[in-house]
Amino acid sequence: MTDVDGPRERYRAQVRAEVKQHAWAQIAAAGVSAVSLNAIARQMSMSGPALYRYFASRDELITALIRDAYRSLADAVREAFDAGADLVGLAGVIRGWARRDPQRYFLVYGTPVPGYHAPDDTTAISFEVMTVLLEACASTDKPATPFDAHLEDHREWANGHPASAATLHRALSFWTRLHGVLSLELAGHFTGMKFDPDLLIADELADLLSAERPSVGER
């Protein structure tokens, strides 16, 4: 048995998991700015220095929460796509994930945390979601537009994905439409408007998937 499999590492993993649970409770109660290692230490009947052996700083704890959130979503989207989900199905998976835990959604897709800078590897995890969307959009290319040409010149964000510019455009359009509706819905901005966000998302996706975009020469 290696040390990683031993009781010390298992205990460390358990403590880290409990710390993250308390952090999520703080975020749910007062937002991410309320995350406090010292407050968590008191809740766990530990000293501050003892807790800092598990998370060296508040930023390290926030990074762990962000990584967990991205990992959860990336795995859910990949699993659904591999099982045959199309863009409409993927939209349902993403929306279901967001609605089950809005605070988790807003931590990664909401307002940036003041003074916090996420490590590069968190961006790599988040791109796994976009990779699935690019794969899902690969068979739905439309005629080229000026924005497609712009994407072709600035596709570094795609991390070398071989998708065409039209596929990049379709994936970005899906991403922005879905998150636009989701962010407003989860923030409560549709309250009292008496319409079904499910139908709004379905309509947005139907419009995106059925629209025949004109070519550059037709504009």
Backbone CA torsion sign across 39, 42, 47, 51: negative
Taking only the tens place, the pLDDT of each residue in 1-12 is 444 568 889 999
Whether 61 is covered by a domain: the verdict is no
180 located within any domain? yes
Percentage of residues in the chain with pLDDT exceeding 90? 53
Which of 86, 177, 97, 166 has the alpha carbon at shortest distance from 132? 86
Query: 6-36: per-residue pLDDT in tens?
Result: 888 999 999 999 999 999 999 999 989 889 9
Count: domains in the chain: 2
Does 167 lie in the same domain as 214? yes
Average pLDDT over every residue of 177-194: 92
Give the residue numbers spanning the domain of 204: 68-218
- Of 56, 78, 103, which one is at a domain's C-terminal end? 56
Give the DSSP H or E segment for 190. none
Q: Are residues 45 and 83 in the same domain?
A: no
| 156 and 207 co-located in one domain | yes
> What pLDDT is attached to residue 217?
40
- Does the structure show a pLDDT above 70 at 171? yes
Q: Is there a single domain that holds both residue 46 and residue 91?
A: no
At residue 162, does pLDDT exceed 90? no
Question: Which residues are CB-neighbours of 130 under 8 A, at least 6 positions away?
Answer: 158, 171, 175
Q: Are 128 and 74 in contact (CB under 8 A)?
A: yes
Residue 63 maps to a domain: no
The span from the CA of 50 to the CA of 47, in Å, is 5
Average pLDDT, stretch 174-187? 93
| Model pTM score | 0.83
